[in-house]
Structure formats: C-alpha cells, structure tokens
Amino acid sequence: MTHPMIETSDSVRAALEAGKPVVALESTIISHGMPYPRNVETALSVEQHVRDNGAVPATIAVIGGKPTVGLTPDQIEYLGKKGLNVTKISRRDLPQIMATGQDGATTVASTMILADRAGIRVFATGGIGGVHRGAERSMDVSADLQELAQTDVAVVCAGAKAILDLPKTLEYLETHGVPVLGYGTDDLPGFYTPDTGLQVDHRVDSPAEIARLLQAKWGFGLRGGVLVTNPVPAEFAMPRTRIDSAVEQALAEAEAQGVAGKESTPFLLARVTELTGGDSLATNIRLVENNARLAALIACEIAELGA
C-alpha cells in the first residue's frame, strides 16, 4: 500500500492497485547526470524502454516538498531545465526537503525509500554508489549501500560506478547480507565495461530466476535489497584501459582541487565524460536503457508470481 504522504501518477496508482508490473526510476540522472536537453531525452527514453517491455515506469522525485512517484513529462522537463539547482537528496535529506517545500532529485538510496513506500519492488538505475577510493582515510561510503542492506527493493544496475573502490564495495555488501547477482555473468560488471575480474555472489540467467529469488528472500522475511548487476552490452562498452586512465586522472584532479563529499561523484563523472570525449556519456545512456529493459522483465515476472 502506498504511503499517504506520497503522490502517485494516475498510471502508477492504477498499475499498483491492479498488481501490474511497475519499475522505479531515479531523478538524479535528470538533474545531475547530464546536461539539458539530453537529460530529459534520456529520462523519457528510459521510461519508454520500461513500457516497451511490459511494465509501467515510475520516475521518482520530490516536487515542492511532495514525494512524487511517477513524474509527468512536464515535471521531467522542469527538473531537466533546473539541473544542478535541484537539490540532490539521499535518506538524510528527505525530511528537510519535504518540510521546507523544496524540489529534490533522488539518488539510489532515496529512490529506494520512496519506491518501497509506494509498494514498488524493482528499480532500474545506471550504477550504484559505494565505497570511495581512500575510504580508509575519508570514511566516504555511499548511503546507497546501507539502503540496500535494509530496504526491500531489487536494484538493477551495471555495477557500482567505476570511480569507486569495487573490492571494498563488494565486501561491504557481503557484510550486510546483500546478494549481488550477475545477469548472465559470473563477473561483476564495471559500469562502462562488462567485467572487472571480481566475482558476483550468484549468476542468474533469466528474469524468472531473479523473481523467484526475490520471492524466496522477502517471503521468508529476510529484509533488505538485492543488487542485480547487468553488464553493459558489448557494442556499447568502453575499453577498460581507456576508462581506467580517465578515472585515475579525474580522481587526481578531484584531490588536487579539494573536491569531496556529495560533490565528488558529479565532478568525477563529468570529468570522465570530458576526458573520453563524450563516449562515456553515450555508454552511460545505453546501459541505463539496458537496465530498464531488464528491470521491466523482472517486474513482469514478479507480477506473475503475485510476489
């Protein structure tokens, strides 16, 4: 049942009431992920990929202090034009943004929270946050990981963002009991690349297999999310040496300029885009669309099971 403080679109409300498949989508990709108008074009394209694969898209944000599940095209355009002037919000920011009537673009963590409150169990994104490089000094660990540990939503992504410390991110997820699945792969995808040399917990080869795992987990009362990692299609992947070089340069520049905290990820991703001549952004768009397709298929299977 949807929480009474959440506003849902007519299409999302009807789908949830009828037990039809719904896929949550974040809004940080609109406001902070890429420039206007490409951000709006991408958001609408991702929604269409969800529809084309049998589910109802529910792009999530806070609009005028109201948690909103299922943005209209006009609301997506509004967030796209405001861009970086929209506050990027995680769990800690939600109460303040709601109480003061502001707009907020949801990260993975806050999208999971609002999806859960609305009764949506599948969420598609590009990549999750994780343990940042040098976290042993900075203690910089994304709230996305803790949300995965406690909120009952399956997150379909292309892995953790390439700017992160991937081995430590996997260790954190293991410690908190979050299953990391590889869709058609035993290897953890590397966001821009289909592999990293790191192993996932379990390989899954069909949306139905994922849906059954989710039904077993939540039906047995095992709280928390599941990370479904979906490799970027080979035709859109980037060479690992090229992306690694761009990431290392971006990290060095961030340290030299004192960029840290919640500003670090947007800075690093933007700099990687510049260093790759825009190729990384093109890959990012394709992998998000690919994740939306898989998420829709999983949501359809969950609806079939009545889970």
Q: Is residue 1 part of a domain?
A: no
pLDDT over threshold 70, residue 11: yes
pLDDT digits (tens, 9 = 90+) for 144-184: 999 999 999 999 999 998 888 899 999 999 999 999 999 99
Structural domains of the chain, count: 1
pLDDT of 1 over the 90 cut? no
The predicted pLDDT at position 307 comes to 64
* pLDDT above 90: percentage of residues in the chain: 79
Q: Is residue 196 part of a domain?
A: yes
Interaxial angle between packed helices 240-257 and 264-275, expressed in degrees from 0 to 180 and rounded to the nearest 10: 130
Q: Which domain holds residue 94?
A: 7-305
Kindly report the CATH number assigned to the domain that includes residue 222.
3.40.1790.10
Residue 2 included in any domain: no
| Lowest pLDDT segment from 5-14, 181-190, 255-264 | 255-264
Residues facing 204 on adjacent strands:
183
* Residue found under tokens 């003061």: 100
Q: Give the whole-angstrom CA distance, residue 183 versus residue 189.
A: 10
> Which residues are known to be catalytic?
26, 161
pLDDT computed for residue 280 by the predictor: 83
Q: How far apart are CA 78 and CA 247, in angstroms?
A: 31
Q: Measured between alpha carbons, how far is 76 from 30 in angstroms, rounded to an integer? A: 8
pLDDT in tens, 95-140: 999 999 999 999 999 999 999 999 999 999 999 999 987 777 778 8
Amino acid at 304: E
Between CA 299 and CA 301 the distance in angstroms is 5
Instruction: Give the span between the Cα atoms of 226 and 228, in whole angstroms.
Output: 6
User: Which is it for strands 66-69 and 56-63: parallel, antiparallel or unpaired?
Assistant: antiparallel
Give domain status of residue 101, yes or no: yes
Q: Does 289 fall in a domain?
A: yes
